[in-house]
């Protein structure tokens, strides 16, 4: 309990007045708190709509998570025009950070170089069908062109950063031809390292699996529209086909690596038989598994990145039909679930708040208010910018503690009947994810 109490003290100093631990008499009668594990059979991962505001709607932009600065970086893309702007996503708010740098383009590729602490961009297609073969680096302040020689100009290629060997890996793409070759960028120098491996393709997906030390490639299509459903790995020396079963043959799947769970996450694409897909799959290094969760609406050419600080896959934009464009932001993450068991609510007595799907062994806060609302935690506070489902009416931080190794726990307390009709909500302080606001009845 020492860690819980220490955290509570920090919360009291940093949260706004209405979130301070100054409990009303109805809640202050907490007599004891007991943690109890609760394992849920279903997956804790869910897609959650986070924002409808930010960059103008677009498709075929590029994104990468900047580990040094803790933000997701977005560049370019297209709609009824080509974009050359740079945005960052903090987990709560998009911010425009640059309008100069690489020429406006879409279908480029971007990764984060963790050794040099910069985001790398290569290729793309611009206005009037101009193919690009330039390489740029973003340091958090400005873009710098670092190479003009290297892979031939192209778009629809895929790139992944190999954090074991500290190189950026590029495969495939389309330009004045197709490219069944593999290139690697070390610092500012490109080297062609293989001319054989997967068949030539474009609009495929790649991500680096750091747990197994390999770059994983899936899907894509040929210039003639033949789609692939094969899975390959690149170990720095040779490509190996590791699976032919899993997601259906498709182009434009989006893929990123969830370093917290050691899983590659794939979303959607353009299926050979059905058309647009909105399914979610995971690759564990051996096989693909479809995850039965709700998902963002059908779209093609969104972009994804993994926020390792907040332990969430970020998805932005895309188009449902090639003419209408989207500007929504989604997260695929552990979504806390909260239940309140208060059998004698009308007269008071023992109540139990139970939760699951929070961060394993992570700090959680139980919040209470008289009614629902949309209060936002102010800047400079833990989880600043997070929107709660509670009102400011008697808003209180009731309790802070740690979840168990499964991300579950419970608090049992003796409370007054006066809390009946109020709302409770769980805040995962590790990731700033929240449960739904639960009616106490």
| Percentage of the chain exceeding pLDDT 90 | 77
21 and 81 in a common domain: no
pLDDT-derived band at 24, boundaries 50, 70, 90: very low
Q: How far is CA 269 from CA 293, 299, 303, in A?
A: 16, 8, 11
Q: Is the pLDDT reported for residue 43 higher than 80? A: no
Q: How far apart are CA 387 and CA 368, in angstroms?
A: 14
- What is the model's pLDDT at position 212? 98
pLDDT band of residue 275 (cuts 50, 70, 90) is: very high
Bridging pattern class, strands 62-66 and 337-341: unpaired
| Enclosing domain of residue 161 | 45-334
Which is nearest to 74 in space by CA: 90, 86, 60?
86
Whether residues 361 and 283 share a domain: the answer is no
- pLDDT confidence band for 347 (50 / 70 / 90): confident
pLDDT of residue 422: 93
Quick one: 324 and 382 in the same domain? no
The owner of tokens 């007045």 is 17
Look up residue 393 and give its DSSP letter: T
* Of residues 4 and 363, more confidently modeled: 363
Predicted confidence (pLDDT) at residue 14 exceeds the cutoff of 80: no
- The torsion defined by the Cα of 362, 401, 427 and 44, in degrees rounded to 10, comes to 50
Do 145 and 276 fall within a single domain? yes
Same domain, 313 and 401: no
Q: Is the pLDDT of residue 15 over 70?
A: no
**If 0-12 CB within 10 Å is exposed, 13-18 middle and 19+ buried, where does residue 30 land?**
middle
168 phi, psi to nearest 5 deg: -95, 130
pLDDT band at 11 (very low <50, low <70, confident <90, very high): very low
Predicted confidence (pLDDT) per residue in 145-177, tens digit: 999 899 999 999 999 999 999 999 999 999 988
Q: Are residues 292 and 319 in the same domain?
A: yes
* Same-domain pairing of 108 and 215: yes
With a cut of 70, say whether residue 29 has pLDDT above it. no
Q: Are 356 and 336 contacting, i.e. CB atoms less than 8 angstroms apart? A: yes
So what's the pLDDT on residue 13? 27
Shared domain for 409 and 262, answered yes or no, is no
| Average pLDDT over the chain, rounded to an integer | 88
Asked if residues 193 and 186 have their Cβ atoms less than 8 Å apart, the reply is: no
Question: What would you report as the CA-atom Rg of the chain, rounded to the nearest whole angstrom?
Answer: 24
Q: 271, 305, 334: which is the final residue of a domain?
A: 334
Q: What percent of the chain has pLDDT over 70?
A: 90
pLDDT at 258: 98
pLDDT digits (tens, 9 = 90+) for 63-87: 999 999 999 999 999 999 999 999 9
Average pLDDT in the 323-350 region? Answer: 92
Q: How many structural domains comprise the chain?
A: 2
pLDDT bucket at 25, cuts 50 / 70 / 90:
very low
- Look at residue 278 in the predicted model and tell me its pLDDT: 95
User: 367 and 436 in contact (C-beta within 8 Å)?
Assistant: no
Give the pLDDT confidence score for residue 243 in this predicted structure: 95
Contact yes or no for 54/412 (Cβ under 8 A): no
Decide which of 344 and 228 is more confident: 228
Residues 343 and 414 in one domain: yes
Q: Which of 304, 334, 364 is the last residue of a domain?
A: 334
Under 8 Å between Cβ of 396 and 440: no
Is there a single domain that holds both residue 404 and residue 347? yes
The CATH number given to whatever domain includes residue 215 is 2.120.10.80
Distance, CA of 436 to CA of 441 (rounded, Å): 15
Q: Comparing C-alpha atoms, which of 298, 256, 261, 295 is closest to residue 276?
A: 298
19 lies in the same domain as 155:
no
Q: Which of 300, 334, 368 is where one domain is finished?
A: 334
pLDDT over 50 (residue 334): yes
Cβ neighbours of residue 376 closer than 8 Å, sequence gap 6 or more = 385, 386, 387, 388
Reading phi first (left if > 0) and then psi (alpha if -120 to 50, else beta), residue 124 is in: left
What residue has token string 């393709």?
201
Tell me the pLDDT band of 314, cut-offs 50, 70 and 90.
Answer: very high
Q: Are residues 382 and 273 in the same domain?
A: no
């Amino acid at each position: 309990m020492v860690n819980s109490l220490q955290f509570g003290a920090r919360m009291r100093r940093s949260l706004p007045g209405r979130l301070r631990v100054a409990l009303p008499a109805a809640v202050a009668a907490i007599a004891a708190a007991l943690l109890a594990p609760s394992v849920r059979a279903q997956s804790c991962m869910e897609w959650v709509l986070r924002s409808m505001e930010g960059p103008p709607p677009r498709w075929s932009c590029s994104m990468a998570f900047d580990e040094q600065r803790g933000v997701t970086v977005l560049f370019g893309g297209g709609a009824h025009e080509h974009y050359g702007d740079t945005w960052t996503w903090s987990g709560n708010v998009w911010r425009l950070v640059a309008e100069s740098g690489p020429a406006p383009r879409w279908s480029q590729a971007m990764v984060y170089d963790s050794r040099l602490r910069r985001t790398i961009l290569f290729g793309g297609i611009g206005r009037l069908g101009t193919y690009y073969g330039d390489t740029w680096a973003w340091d958090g302040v400005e873009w710098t062109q670092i190479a003009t020689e290297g892979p031939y100009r192209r778009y629809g290629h895929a790139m992944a950063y190999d954090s074991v060997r500290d190189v950026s890996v590029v495969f495939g793409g389309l330009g004045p031809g197709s490219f069944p070759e593999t290139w690697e960028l070390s610092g500012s120098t490109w080297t062609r390292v293989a001319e054989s491996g997967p068949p030539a393709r474009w609009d495929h997906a790649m991500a680096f699996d750091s747990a197994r030390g390999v770059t994983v490639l899936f899907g894509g299509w040929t210039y003639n529209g033949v789609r692939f459903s094969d899975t390959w790995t690149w170990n720095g020396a040779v490509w190996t086909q590791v699976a032919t079963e899993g997601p259906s043959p498709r182009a434009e799947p989006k893929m990123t690596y969830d370093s917290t769970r050691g899983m590659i996450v794939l979303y959607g694409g353009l299926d050979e038989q059905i058309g647009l897909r909105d399914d979610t799959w995971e690759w564990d290094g051996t096989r693909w598994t479809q995850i039965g969760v709700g998902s963002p609406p059908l779209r093609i050419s969104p972009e994804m990145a993994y926020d390792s600080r907040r332990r969430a896959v970020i998805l932005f934009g895309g188009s449902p039909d090639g003419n209408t464009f989207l500007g929504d932001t989604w997260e695929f993450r552990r979504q806390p679930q909260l239940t309140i068991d208060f059998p004698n609510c009308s007269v008071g007595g023992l109540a139990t708040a139970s939760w699951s799907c929070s961060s394993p062994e992570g700090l959680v806060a139980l919040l209470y208010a008289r009614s629902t609302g949309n209060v936002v935690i102010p800047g400079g506070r833990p989880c600043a910018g997070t929107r709660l489902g509670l009102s400011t009416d008697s808003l209180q931080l009731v309790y802070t503690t740690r979840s168990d190794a499964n991300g579950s726990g419970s608090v049992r307390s003796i409370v007054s009947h006066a809390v009946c009709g109020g709302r409770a909500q769980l805040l995962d302080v590790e990731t700033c994810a929240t449960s739904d606001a639960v009616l106490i009845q």
